[in-house]
């Protein structure tokens, strides 16, 4: 104990260069105490310095990720990496040239700057400080001292506060304009001005206009009030499902500004404050909402002039937006896209959104100029109760596409979908119904499409000047405060409070009385079991066990039926208990029906269920809105077509494993691994969890199965896990960042937490000052910098 002050003092002396700036004149003055697993605890006396510490700490672990993200939002990927190379945007893989056109045309620096200037001064100070801290790290390391992914490359350069504001705006539009990046960047009028027939509607079975196969963001969150907890206080488990690669990786941090702010959690870059976190009184998490954050308007064009449309019978000219994109080793590319009073024109002919001589479609996006994000999370970070969380959400409206679930030490719990939903009532949707073709797209894609021939149908101002931001009023959005349970696993608001469903909201906010995804059903099943077992006195350990037991709801619903068809003798080859069907049946018989690393048969079931879930007429008991957590159910084995298709799915799954070189009963750990390339773990680290469609709460999605197991180049799933309750001393938090703090394979913080995840362990999160000081891995640095010392433009 007597050695601790000496250790901390030496750390201060040996931490590296301290920028020459007097303490009295330094623009930035911050202390960063780093505990085990590379978690920075950042303390300063002003917001700018706090942001400086956050930007420096993030850059120290992930400088290449932030540099790459800035290249994207600056519209410079074609220059840095070539126009034909691909970038993984939220809407899917996108050509660099199309990405550059989109970001140069869609993001308006002047409007973004004006929004921040009119907003919260603390938010601006944090953002500008973050940029300065990032720049300070670049200057300190030099181009040759950066990680291999971005060492000595010309696309890494200092960031301005404006650059970070652009990146924050990209975060805001991820469920709206960002998903239409290619559709906006490639929109062009028809070659002929002549009226052409409409393109037949062709909407994918998923029902989404955008290619949602690439959109895998999701989450689970459970907030329990004091009526259900062992100690009578609130209890929160947050489990977002985000990418393990790229710039949507979370980063853990703890920010303290004495007397004003003390918050710990995780953020996406370049947020200078946690977006999922906790403080002394309240904890919150988020899930991707099921509401619609944009509207498509159908524009009737002026005959013979595809660049003009009619509003209230009067011609309006589309506004051309011309951008020039520099490219590597070639001439710059100039392209023109088009804006309208309703939003930018989009074209996706294969999905029914064609720009013909008669019709065009425009995207109304209320998040296009959203500058409220940092202000919103500052308000959450300083809240003292879920009531204050609720008021902050209603006042700021800065959570663009995520539900909020929260619990506090007093024992209250909250669910709120306060996302960026355009103000489209069901009545307005009827009054502004589009043509028959537009209505067909709306039905098939389950979207709101409005007419674009009347000014009264405009809900989002193109210039973003409306004081209500064009959003659905807060009192018409779903919210519920309770001392019981609220939870969400990416279904709509309808069953967020299972004891009292939220119903009667506008259709654009999300569907009601519809089948729920298996993750939602599994969450309710497990919580019911826990409440029954504990007599309604749920403890934090109960929720931690729930997350890591990796139970597979699809298996619990269908494996018995699968084993039944295994026992049915059929006359055809491969259906007499021989070959692949026999190996599949044997594997299922011995499987524990979980998706844990040592589960033998989990991979076989996944591939069989991937096929079987699409069997027509699979369920004998149809969905019943009165029993939404238990229906549909019971495989209809009385239907010989279903039974035959089920046998075929089993045999094909076993054959797939065999061709890949694996037996049907291969342990999940052997095929589901994170291969980090770090140090000596060439074999990889086993990753627990099941795919989205399996109903495993610990959701993990890998690429296709091949000779090396599941493709681990693109992993989505459990990321920052946070379990929080309170005692007399304050918050008691356990958590995990599943992929570690650093994206750099050479970093000791690249996969250290993945090892805990493989073992099904959360770790204690040091929040109190005594906990931080006692951490055996404590390392402290003091940063002082003048404004010109940071490389800040």
* Three-class SS state of 482: strand
pLDDT recorded at residue 24: 52
Residue 254: which of 375, 381, 432 has the closest Cα?
Answer: 381
Q: Whole-number mean pLDDT of the chain?
A: 92
* Three-class SS state of 631: coil
pLDDT digits (tens, 9 = 90+) for 258-285: 999 999 999 999 999 999 999 999 999 9
Dihedral pair phi/psi, residue 429, rounded to 5°? -60, -35
The yes-or-no answer on residue 219 being catalytic is yes
pLDDT recorded at residue 288: 96
Mean pLDDT, residues 568-583 taken together: 62
Q: Which residues contact 314 (CB under 8 A, 6 or more apart)?
A: none
pLDDT recorded at residue 1: 33
Indicate the range of 149-158, 212-221, 429-438 predicted with least confidence.
212-221
pLDDT recorded at residue 164: 98
* Three-class SS state of 763: strand
The token pair that represents 12 in the structure block: 């201060």
Residue 16 has pLDDT above 70, yes or no: no
Dihedral pair phi/psi, residue 106, rounded to 5°? -85, -35
Q: What percent of the chain has pLDDT over 90?
A: 86
pLDDT digits (tens, 9 = 90+) for 334-343: 999 999 999 9
Per the CB < 8 A criterion, the answer to whether 86 and 438 are in contact is: no
Residue 677's pLDDT band (boundaries 50, 70, 90)? low
pLDDT digits (tens, 9 = 90+) for 514-550: 999 999 999 999 999 999 999 999 999 999 999 999 9
Residue 792 has pLDDT above 90, yes or no: no
pLDDT recorded at residue 544: 98
Q: Which residues contact 224 (CB under 8 A, 6 or more apart)?
A: 234, 235, 236, 407, 413, 484, 485, 538
Mean pLDDT, residues 695-722 taken together: 96
pLDDT recorded at residue 676: 79
Per DSSP, helices labelled H in 263-352 are: none
The pTM of this model reads 0.94
pLDDT recorded at residue 791: 57
Residue 210 has pLDDT above 70, yes or no: no
Catalytic one of 219, 385, 489, 742:
219
* Three-class SS state of 708: coil
pLDDT recorded at residue 463: 64
Residue 577's pLDDT band (boundaries 50, 70, 90)? very low
pLDDT digits (tens, 9 = 90+) for 162-207: 999 999 999 999 999 999 999 999 999 998 654 444 544 444 433 3
pLDDT digits (tens, 9 = 90+) for 590-629: 999 999 999 999 999 999 999 999 999 999 999 999 999 9
Indicate the range of 19-28, 33-42, 465-474 predicted with least confidence.
19-28
Separation in Å, CA 33 to CA 42, 44, 275, 772: 6, 11, 20, 8
pLDDT recorded at residue 467: 67
CA-only gyration radius of the chain, Å: 27
- Per residue in 209-239, is it b (16+ CB within 10 Å) or e — as a string? bbbeeebbbbbbbbbbbbebbbbebbbbbbb
The token pair that represents 54 in the structure block: 């956050």
pLDDT recorded at residue 399: 97
The token pair that represents 477 in the structure block: 């959005």
Residue 699's pLDDT band (boundaries 50, 70, 90)? very high
Q: Which residues contact 461 (CB under 8 A, 6 or more apart)?
A: 470
Per the CB < 8 A criterion, the answer to whether 324 and 332 are in contact is: yes
pLDDT digits (tens, 9 = 90+) for 512-521: 999 999 999 9
The token pair that represents 315 in the structure block: 């011609």
Per the CB < 8 A criterion, the answer to whether 783 and 34 are in contact is: no
Per the CB < 8 A criterion, the answer to whether 278 and 263 are in contact is: yes
Residue corresponding to tokens 């039974």: 643
Residue 310 has pLDDT above 70, yes or no: yes
pLDDT recorded at residue 575: 45
User: Among 43-47, 566-570, 673-677, which range has the highest average pLDDT?
Assistant: 43-47
pLDDT digits (tens, 9 = 90+) for 722-779: 999 999 999 999 999 999 999 999 999 999 999 999 999 999 999 999 999 999 989 9
Sorted by where each begins, the domain ranges of the chain are 550-669
Instruction: Report CA torsion sign: 188, 192, 193, 197.
Output: negative
pLDDT digits (tens, 9 = 90+) for 418-449: 999 999 999 999 999 999 999 999 998 889 99
The token pair that represents 390 in the structure block: 């609720």
* Three-class SS state of 133: helix
Per the CB < 8 A criterion, the answer to whether 594 and 549 are in contact is: yes
Task: Estimate to the nearest angstrom the gap between the alpha carbon of 83 and the chain centroid.
Answer: 27
User: What is the end-to-end Cα distance of the chain in Å, rounded?
Assistant: 45
Return the ∠ at Cα 618 (arms to 616 and 619), rounded to 5°. Answer: 135
Alpha carbons within 13 A on the beta-carbon side of 168: 35
- Domain 550-669 = CATH 1.10.1400.10: yes
Per DSSP, helices labelled H in 661-792 are: 668-671, 752-758, 769-773
Report the C-alpha gap between 475 and 461 in whole angstroms: 21
């Amino acid at each position: 104990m007597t050695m601790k002050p000496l250790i901390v003092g030496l750390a201060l002396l040996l931490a590296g260069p301290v920028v020459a700036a007097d303490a009295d004149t330094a623009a930035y003055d911050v202390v960063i105490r780093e505990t085990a697993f590379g978690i920075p605890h950042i303390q300063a006396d002003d917001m700018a310095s706090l942001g400086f510490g956050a930007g420096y700490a993030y850059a120290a672990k992930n400088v290449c990720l932030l540099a790459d993200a800035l290249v994207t939002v600056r519209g410079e990927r074609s220059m840095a990496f070539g126009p034909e190379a691909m970038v993984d945007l939220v809407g899917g893989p996108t050509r660099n040239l199309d990405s550059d056109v989109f970001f140069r045309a869609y993001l308006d620096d002047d409007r973004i700057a004006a929004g921040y200037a009119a907003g919260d001064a603390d938010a601006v100070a944090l953002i500008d400080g973050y940029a300065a801290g990032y720049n300070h790290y670049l200057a300190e390391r030099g181009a040759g001292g950066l990680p291999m992914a971005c060492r000595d490359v010309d696309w890494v350069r200092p960031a301005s506060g404006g650059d970070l504001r652009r990146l924050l705006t990209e975060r805001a539009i991820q469920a709206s304009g960002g998903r239409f990046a290619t559709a906006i960047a490639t929109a062009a009028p028809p070659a002929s001005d002549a009226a052409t027939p409409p393109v037949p509607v062709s909407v994918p079975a998923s029902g989404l206009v955008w290619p949602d196969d690439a959109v895998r963001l999701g989450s689970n969150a459970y907030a329990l009030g004091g009526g259900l907890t062992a100690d009578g206080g609130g209890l929160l488990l947050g489990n977002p499902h985000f990418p393990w690669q790229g710039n949507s990786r979370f980063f853990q941090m703890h920010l303290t500004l004495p007397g004003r702010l003390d918050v710990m959690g995780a953020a996406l870059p370049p947020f200078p404050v946690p977006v999922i976190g906790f403080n002394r009184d309240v904890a919150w998490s988020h899930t991707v909402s099921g509401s619609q954050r944009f509207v498509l308007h159908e524009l009737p064009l002026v005959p013979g002039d595809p660049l003009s449309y009619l509003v209230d019978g009067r011609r309006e000219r589309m506004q051309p937006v011309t951008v020039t994109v520099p490219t590597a080793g070639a001439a710059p590319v100039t392209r023109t896209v088009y804006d309208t009073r309703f939003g930018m024109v989009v074209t996706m002919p294969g999905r029914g959104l064609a720009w013909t001589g008669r019709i065009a479609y425009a995207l109304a996006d209320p998040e296009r100029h959203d500058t409220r994000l940092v202000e919103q999370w500052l308000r959450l970070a300083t809240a003292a109760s879920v009531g204050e969380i609720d008021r902050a959400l209603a006042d700021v409206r800065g959570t663009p596409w995520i539900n909020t679930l929260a619990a506090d030490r007093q024992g209250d719990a909250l669910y709120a979908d306060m996302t960026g939903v355009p103000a489209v009532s069901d009545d307005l949707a009827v009054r502004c119904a589009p043509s028959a073709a537009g209505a067909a797209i709306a039905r098939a894609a389950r979207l709101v499409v409005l007419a674009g021939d009347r000014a009264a149908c405009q809900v989002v101002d193109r210039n973003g000047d409306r004081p209500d931001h064009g959003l659905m009023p807060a009192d018409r959005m779903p919210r519920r405060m309770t001392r019981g349970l609220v939870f969400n696993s990416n279904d709509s608001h309808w069953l967020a409070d299972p004891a009292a469903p939220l119903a009667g909201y506008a259709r654009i906010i999300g569907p009601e009385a519809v089948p729920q995804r298996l993750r939602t059903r599994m969450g309710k099943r497990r919580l019911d079991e826990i409440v029954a077992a504990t007599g309604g006195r749920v403890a934090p350990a109960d929720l931690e066990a729930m997350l890591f037991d990796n139970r597979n709801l699809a298996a619990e619903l269908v494996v018995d039926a699968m084993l039944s068809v295994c026992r049915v003798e059929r006359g055809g080859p491969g259906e007499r208990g021989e070959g692949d069907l026999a190996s599949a049946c044997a594997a299922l018989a011995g499987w524990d029906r979980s998706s844990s690393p040592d589960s033998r048969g989990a991979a076989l079931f996944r591939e069989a269920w991937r096929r079987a879930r699409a069997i027509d007429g699979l369920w004998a008991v149809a969905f019943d809105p009165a029993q939404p957590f238990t229906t549909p159910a019971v495989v209809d084995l009385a239907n010989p077509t279903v039974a035959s298709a089920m046998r075929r799915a089993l045999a094909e799954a076993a054959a797939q494993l065999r061709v890949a070189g694996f037996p049907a009963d291969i342990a999940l750990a052997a095929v589901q691994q994170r291969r980090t390339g770090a140090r000596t773990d060439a074999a990889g680290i086993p990753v627990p969890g099941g795919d989205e469609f399996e109903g495993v709460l610990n959701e993990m999605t890998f690429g296709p199965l091949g000779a090396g197991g599941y493709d681990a180049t693109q992993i989505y799933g459990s990321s920052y896990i946070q379990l929080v309750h309170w005692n007399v001393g304050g918050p008691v938090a356990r958590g995990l960042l599943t992929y570690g703090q650093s994206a750099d394979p050479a970093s000791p913080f690249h996969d250290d937490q993945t090892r805990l995840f493989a073992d099904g362990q959360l770790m204690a999160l040091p929040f109190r000052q005594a906990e931080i000081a006692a951490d055996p891995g404590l390392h402290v640095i003091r940063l002082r910098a003048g404004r010109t010392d940071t490389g800040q433009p």
